[in-house]
Amino acid sequence: MKLKSILALLLVAGCMLSCAKDGKEASTENETEANKVEKSKNFDYTVEQFADIKILRYQIPGWDNLTLKEQKLVYYLTQAGLAGRDMMWDQNYRHNLKIRKALENIYKYYEGDKSVSNWKAFETYLKRVWFSNGIHHHYSNDKLKPEFSEDYLKTLLTETNTTLEGEAFEVIFNDKDIKKVNQAKGVDNVLLSAVNFYGPNVTNADVESFYAKKTSPNPERPLSFGLNSQLVKENGVLKERVYKSGGLYGSAIDEIVKWLELAKGVAENKAQSDALGLLIDYYKTGDLQTWDDYNVAWTAATEGNIDYINSFIEVYNDPLGYRGSYENIVQVKDFDMSQKMAVLSENAQWFEDNSPLMEAHKKKNVVGVTYKVVNVAGEAGDASPSTPIGVNLPNANWIRAAVGSKSVSLGNIIHSYNNAGSSGRLKEFVHDDEELELEKKHGQLADKLHTALHEVIGHASGQLNPGVGETKETLKNYASTLEEGRADLVGLYYLYNPKLQELGLVEDWKAVGKAAYDGYIRNGLMTQLIRLNLGDDVEEAHMRNRQWVSAWAFEKGKADNVIEKVTRDGKTYFNINDYDKLHDLFGQLLRETQRIKSEGDFEAVEALVEGYGVKVDQDIHKEVLARNEQFTSAPYSGFVNPVLVPETDENGEIIAIKVTQPESFDGQMLNYSKQYSFLPEEN
């Protein structure tokens, strides 16, 4: 599960710099830390801004403290990740690779007038396509609308001797495949989603009937059917095209395997090596039992300074929650912050025992929850350029229950957000000076702890009733937003709790809790609306969950005026009058969301999400957009990746690896297409 960024201005956390490795002299450690702080101060975090996007950079703190062997492991894992980049593009939409190649060819070779508005519009469109890994917006799922004409694009194609014909050309301008993922109620979500997980004539009913016939060898350990395949209909017969060597995406997967085998050769320990071996076997065979075996081994491999996420994992892009999008995140442990935050993992059972869940829904033995703050060394696929700020894996409920999970907070990503943001929007939308001061003083810590509680305690908590199927089967298109909201509620419930102070994580639990509650309600009911066009419904899973949590609490607390809607000088604010009662409301909703998940209650989740999480108050939305017009900072941020450059001796052996920063977003995107295009345009 991912915790996606909310708004750059709201994403705050402490400076997360790695400590020096053991064995260094004390004076060297101090000097290294001072140098790192100075580098951070002088670092240019912002690359550029266009449309609704801001492109940032991030550093890799602690890189020079890694051994050469560890640096090689990081390098090989990042190369493996980038090798699969084009799979994400093709998964997002069947014409994406063909469109990208044509647009990039124009961008590289057009020699006409580049000062005119049409060319500027073309540049912006291409950058938006790069950022979204395709022609649909990375967050709203709406198809990107070019601000240039068909005739202008035809001119560019002709003048650069570039070919883009038929549907691949027409779809840029027409209303076909308008939504990458359609989560609307009462429609055929699969048929109306442009995402390339299904053939163009496959329906909801087809998917449900196809997988209803699948049975796992061990029902107590259900396989993740559909995770690594495309479901198509040929001559009226449904069949899976499996992602594997020799199968769908085989040429890219073979390249991934090549780099993973090199990574295995420099693994830090046997457990890490064994896990990499199973991942290689999975890519070669596409076998879902091997995938589970790998996840068990990967979850148990907790020693070492380097870790990674690689494969087809998160199911948010599938309207029915079966198929995983390709992603890669390579991580270097942040030793100091991980040690400080490990206290949550160590106390996971206390949080479970003291939660407001029904006793039948509590885990009697919360096992293997590991939490680390890490520094990202490279990302690809669904994690790039738009990245999560926290991740908890694996997703299979039975593995979480039997073996545990790994939770990470991406420290250097959060650090970059903090240093590239501004506080203008915050001042505009807070109710009063008290709320502003709470956010300034405690907001960073509150957000960091919410991320940790969401990932470590939230996703690891609760259990399904005996005989109840996986949530993708029972809750269908609402499964992702229910799970994210449930994890958010766990975090909210415990953020306003003296246990955090008892554990030494905060100095004033009430102040931190109040700041967290203020920020969540403010964002859920107002500020996240800047991401939507007026009149749009909320469709993205995380945005939905923030709205249904906030709107439910607002409505249920009306009798006691828990949250007050205030109008002042023509502007709307939401002011929390009773934090204790809001804490109780969050507990009630947490209990209910866990009941829904545990019992597989589709009618209840549909009522919750559709009743509170989809429709937007149009008057407030219009007002929020108008109030936001004064701010020039883009509402979405993403990243270019540092470039790892190996130096070799006369025998071709790597003797050093340097970290460099890309100068531009377009430069990195063009370089990626040149170096990591291992798929044909049509797959």
Q: Which residues of the chain have pLDDT under 70?
A: 3-41, 368, 421-423
Rounded alpha-carbon distances, angstroms, from residue 68 to 78, 376, 563, 571, 658:
15, 18, 55, 57, 11
pLDDT attached to residue 8: 35
What's the start-to-end Cα distance of the chain, in Å?
28
How far apart CA 232 and CA 44 sit, in angstroms, is 47
Closest Cα partner for 11 from 594, 410, 482, 360? 410
pTM of the model: 0.80
CA 444 to centroid of chain Cα atoms: 20
pLDDT attached to residue 19: 28
Each residue's pLDDT tens digit, 460-506: 899 999 999 989 899 999 999 999 999 999 999 999 999 999 999 99
How far apart CA 464 and CA 596 sit, in angstroms, is 9
Residues 380, 328: contact at Cβ < 8 Å?
yes
Helix, strand, or coil here: 508? coil
Query: How crowded is the C-beta side of 135, counted as CA atoms within 13 Å?
Result: 30
Each residue's pLDDT tens digit, 419-434: 886 667 889 999 999 9
**Cis upstream peptide for 498 (omega within 30°):** no
How far apart CA 145 and CA 136 sit, in angstroms, is 9
The beta-strand segments (E) located in 226-297 are: 229-234, 237-242
pLDDT attached to residue 265: 98
Closest Cα partner for 317 from 207, 206, 195, 421? 195
DSSP-assigned letter for residue 21: P
Contacts with 110 (C-beta within 8 Å, 6 or more apart), sequence order:
119, 156, 159, 160
Alpha-carbon Rg for the chain, nearest whole angstrom, is 24
Neighbours of 37 (CB within 10 A): 13
pLDDT attached to residue 557: 98
How far apart CA 173 and CA 502 sit, in angstroms, is 58
Q: Using CB atoms within 10 Å of the CB of residue 532, give its burial: 0 to 12 exposed, 13 to 18 middle, 19+ buried.
A: buried
DSSP states of 48-78 = EEETTEEEE----TTGGGS-HHHHHHHHHHH
Token pair recorded at residue 422 = 């501004």
pLDDT attached to residue 414: 87
How far apart CA 594 and CA 584 sit, in angstroms, is 15
In degrees, rounded to 5, the angle at the alpha carbon of residue 604 between the alpha carbons of residues 600 and 610 is 125
